[in-house]
Structure 1
Amino acid sequence: MCTRYYVELSPELRPYVEAASRTPLKAKMVSVLGKKFKAEGEIRPTDMAAVIAPGRDGKQAVFPMVWGYHITGIDHPVVNARVESAKDKTSFAVDWARHRCIVPASYYFEWEHIKRPDGTVKTGQKYAIQPRNATVTYLAGLYRIEEERGLKYPVFTVLTREPGEILSKIHNRMPVILPEDAIGDWIKPDADPGRIVSEALTDMDMVVETAR
């Protein structure tokens, strides 16, 4: 799963954050939706943050987007989609084929899941996780346009997959994380997402997250 990630205003991430913050769309979303744009810190579901996606000219651009799809019949924002089945799900199939994005982060958080003797699961340590020897974590996602009070605005969901060997010790899912050189291909509407997903990174560094 991926239900929290963290953005530091590092030299690598600052340009994305500043580009999204400067857009006229950001000002409209703040006004109409009543949300703050999260430039840094811990990003949670329903927050507005910087996301990489193709612009109208097809070139790479950065937009403010809200984390979570609103899907009929589900009473909470859908913040994750399983990469194995996204292309077959009504809620995600079109976006899998045409609307793919990248969520730039410093790292993401995961909580250790510990199975009790009775089969129930309790939550353990919180870990900060990022690709080994990296300072930026590029989360692969999908996006679509929703509407509220007359404003059309983009929302995103993060794709998840089975974890690599190290992460499997704490959780049975992890986000799809792509190398930086795959960003351009991933967001192209006519690209083959199945092929690009095969490049996803699974070798991660993780440390216990301490209170800030």
Structure 2
Amino acid sequence: MCMSLRIELREMAEVLIKVRKMAFALEMSIKLGKSLSMSGDLYPSDIAPVLAPNKHGQMVIFPMVWGFTHKATTKPLANCRIETADKKALWRDSWYRRRCVIPASLYYEFGYPVYEDDSRSMLEHRNTKKVKFAIQTEGSDITYIAALYRYEDHGGMQVPMFSVLTREAAGTVRDIHDRMPVILDKEDVKEWIRPDGAPFSIAERALTNMAFEKAVEYHRSPNEFITA
């Protein structure tokens, strides 16, 4: 599960400036009535900078809206479970043909607090009030989050929408939450977005060593969303 992420301006300034100058990004912002800031804390339904292939198969940065839409709900489908991404009709085509990556500074998750020399039972641990954590790839300023995308018609405009892939938690994150995004090594990003790539093989190499700390409070309330 990934309920919000953060993009630090100082780390992503070059990327953000490039995206904001795109005529398509400006048109999307006006058509949807959404901010093109794309920095600070981002939530489902926000526009974010996303790495995806262009028509020539080259990796470029695109503005995309976070969360597929579905007629069964008014909430954006912000997350997709990797265990069923190749099986459910909603995700299958994107899994095989339209994969992308969100380069973020970190992501946020509400989880269980961890204490040194913790002698609590698992039941006591799970009954503890959750706190918000800031989580990022250990030893890196950029966390590459795997996602799927598709185009949707919004007011006559074909808008690219993405949904974050999640997996069973592993490594250090397992202590605070049972799910985590699929985090890629920088070296796997280009291979992941290739339409003829091998997503299963790359997902098996997903990173699990994360650094985390208690996060600051939200500056604004996150939008409601669901995972599918």
Q: Which TM-score band applies after superposition, normalised by the shorter structure?
A: over 0.9
Q: Name 1:2's counterpart in structure 2.
A: 2
Q: Name 1:43's counterpart in structure 2.
A: 42
1:38 touches 1:47 (CA, 8 Å); kept in 2?
no
CA distances 1:53-93 after superposition (whole Å, capped 9, x unpaired): 00111100111100000023133110000111100010000
Taking structure 2 as the reference length, what is the TM-score of the superposition? 0.86
CA distances 1:76-115 after superposition (whole Å, capped 9, x unpaired): 110000111100010000000000000010000011158x
Q: Secondary structure at the match of 1:140?
A: strand
Query: Amino acid of the residue matched to residue 41 of structure 1?
Result: G
Query: Which ranges of structure 2 fall in alignment gaps of 5 or more residues?
Result: 114-121, 220-228
Query: Amino acid of the residue matched to residue 131 of structure 2?
Result: Q
1:112 touches 1:124 (CA, 8 Å); kept in 2?
yes
Structure 2 counterpart of 1:163, from 143, 166, 169 = 169
Q: Name 1:174's counterpart in structure 2.
A: 180
Judged with a 3 Å threshold, the aligned counterparts in structure 2 of structure 1 residues 55 and 123 are, in CA distance, closer, same or farther, namely farther
The whole-number CA distance in structure 1 between the counterparts of 2:207 and 2:135 is: 12
Aligned length: 210
Q: 155-164 vs 121-130, which deviates more?
A: 121-130
The whole-number CA distance in structure 2 between the counterparts of 1:176 and 1:108 is: 12
Q: Secondary structure at the match of 2:192?
A: helix
TM superposition shift of 1:122: 7.0
Matches within 5 A, 1:1-212: 1-11=1-11, 13-113=12-112, 123-211=129-217
**Percent identity (aligned):** 35
List 4+ stretches of structure 1 deviating above 3 A: 120-123
Query: Amino acid of the residue matched to residue 17 of structure 1?
Result: L
The whole-number CA distance in structure 2 between the counterparts of 1:121 and 1:154 is: 39
Structure number with the bigger relative contact order (C-alpha 8 A, sep ≥ 6) is 2
Query: Which ranges of structure 1 fall in alignment gaps of 5 or more residues?
Result: none
The whole-number CA distance in structure 2 between the counterparts of 1:74 and 1:208 is: 32
2:43 touches 2:66 (CA, 8 Å); kept in 1?
yes
Taking structure 1 as the reference length, what is the TM-score of the superposition? 0.93
The whole-number CA distance in structure 2 between the counterparts of 1:39 and 1:166 is: 28
Judged with a 3 Å threshold, the aligned counterparts in structure 2 of structure 1 residues 123 and 188 are, in CA distance, closer, same or farther, namely farther
Q: 1-10 vs 90-99, which deviates more?
A: 1-10
The whole-number CA distance in structure 1 between the counterparts of 2:39 and 2:204 is: 30
2:171 touches 2:210 (CA, 8 Å); kept in 1?
no
Judged with a 3 Å threshold, the aligned counterparts in structure 2 of structure 1 residues 122 and 79 are, in CA distance, closer, same or farther, namely farther
RMSD: 2.0
1:5 touches 1:43 (CA, 8 Å); kept in 2?
yes
Q: Secondary structure at the match of 2:131?
A: strand
Query: Amino acid of the residue matched to residue 85 of structure 1?
Result: T
